[in-house]
Amino acid sequence: MKYIDEYRDAVSARRFARAIARIATREWTIMEVCGGQTHAIVKFGVDELLPPQITLLHGPGCPVCVTPIELIDKAAALGARSDVIFTSFGDMLRVPGTHSNLLEVKARGGDVRMVYSPLDALKIAQANPEKEVVFFAVGFETTAPANAMAVYQAAQLGVKNFSILVSHVLVPPAIEAILGSPDNRVNGFLAAGHVCAVVGYEEYYPLADKYRVPFVVTGFEPVDILQGIYMIVRQLESGRAEVENQYSRCVRREGNIPAQQITREVFEIVPRKWRGIGEIPYSGLGLREPYHTFDAERRFNLAGYAAEESGECISGEVLQGKLKPNQCPAFGTRCTPEHPLGATMVSSEGACAAYYRYRRLEVAHG
């Protein structure tokens, strides 16, 4: 299959691994900021191909995982209302809130529906004018344009019974929060290719200059990731801190201009709380004033709610690259996909879910 099999080729992967070993003279720590890359690294054993000088850390690259527990509780409350049809992508349905998740709300009779696009939710609203239809708008910059388009079309069509519960987060502010931490140990970043396909990679230049760390826009297959690591190590060994694009088959420096335009039309940058991490300034998107009528939190008067995370869950440390999932005492015992303590164990992009799926036997026998 073009552009898949080629980037899973074992010979090419080993060639890059050997090239990294040849040029690495010091210890370097590299972070990927994408849950899809995390799963590929763990599934294909990319980290096990690397020389011992190279350490990979998993960053806050799972938007489901960083959705605040308060918003999960708000989603559950909306899903339980008899006048609401609550719609969401499937990966949000099992994320634990304080007392329940959306699947449990559905099992108790709530009208909770999985959709594949926010435009599907808009169609449901048009087909059910007697109900309020809410879509759970979660994601990084990748999903923002489609969610913005759904709101824009609802406004243009005059659909009054549609709203979105917004939990959009932005990658560069999260990276800066990690780099600005006094205990930061990251020397370079693999920038998520799908995010950069939408927004480009201009925003990484100031970060590379300010913190003297290289960024390489990277794809999601094993050879992509190994080539991205090679490019970072090559920069680090030569004392450079630049922005490079490994994923040139999909990403342009300027990104997708029409997608950016619709996002700016509907959303504005706001502070955003990240689950397990806390509030990061300028790290989220919220609806602009002309579209406030489509804000589910405003429509249903849900502001001001607060909730506490499980004290036993270390997902915040995992999301910041301070610990790996298998360093959690509850991993695979008190915390499993069937009974998760945190979102990182149930999300399809969560680091804990990746380790449980592909490495739990190693942990059990380690």
Could you read off the pLDDT of 91-128 as tens digits, one per residue? 999 999 998 999 999 999 999 999 999 999 999 999 99
**Mean pLDDT across 292-297:** 98
pLDDT-based confidence at 204, cuts 50/70/90?
very high
**Mean pLDDT across 167-196:** 95
| DSSP secondary structure code for residue 250 in this structure | T
Residue 153 has pLDDT above 60, yes or no: yes
User: In CATH, which of 3.40.50.11740, 3.30.565.10, 3.30.830.10, 1.10.540.10 is domain 1-299+308-313?
Assistant: 3.40.50.11740
pLDDT > 70: what percent of the chain?
98
Residue 363 has pLDDT above 60, yes or no: no
Residue 259 has pLDDT above 80, yes or no: yes
Closest CA to 155 of 299, 291, 303: 291
pLDDT-based confidence at 222, cuts 50/70/90?
very high
Specify the range with the lowest mean pLDDT, choosing from 136-150, 207-221, 322-336: 322-336
pLDDT-based confidence at 227, cuts 50/70/90?
very high
CA distance 145 to 207: 24
**Mean pLDDT across 280-288:** 96
Largest CA distance in the chain: 66
pLDDT in tens, 29-71: 999 999 999 999 999 999 999 999 999 999 998 989 999 999 9
How many other C-beta atoms can be found within 10 angstroms of the C-beta atom of residue 5?
9
pLDDT > 90: what percent of the chain?
88
**Mean pLDDT across 148-167:** 98
Q: Is the dihedral of CA 330, 336, 341, 347 positive or negative?
A: positive
Contact 188, 57 (CB under 8 A): no
Residue 252 has pLDDT above 50, yes or no: yes
CA distance 92 to 101: 9
pLDDT-based confidence at 362, cuts 50/70/90?
low
Residue 366 has pLDDT above 60, yes or no: no
**Mean pLDDT across 276-280:** 89
Q: Is 109 left (phi over 0), alpha (psi -120 to 50) or beta?
A: left
Contact 36, 197 (CB under 8 A): no
Residue 310: the pLDDT is: 73
Specify the range with the lowest mean pLDDT, choosing from 143-152, 213-222, 346-355: 346-355
**Mean pLDDT across 354-365:** 78
Residue 312 has pLDDT above 90, yes or no: no
Residue 355: the pLDDT is: 95
Residue 365: the pLDDT is: 45
Residue 1: the pLDDT is: 53
Residues of CATH 3.40.50.11740 domain(s) within the chain?
1-299+308-313
| DSSP secondary structure code for residue 335 in this structure | B
Mean pLDDT value across the chain: 94
Residue 270 has pLDDT above 80, yes or no: yes
Residue 306 has pLDDT above 90, yes or no: no
Q: Which residue type sits at 338?
A: E
Closest CA to 243 of 185, 41, 251, 235: 235
**Mean pLDDT across 314-322:** 91
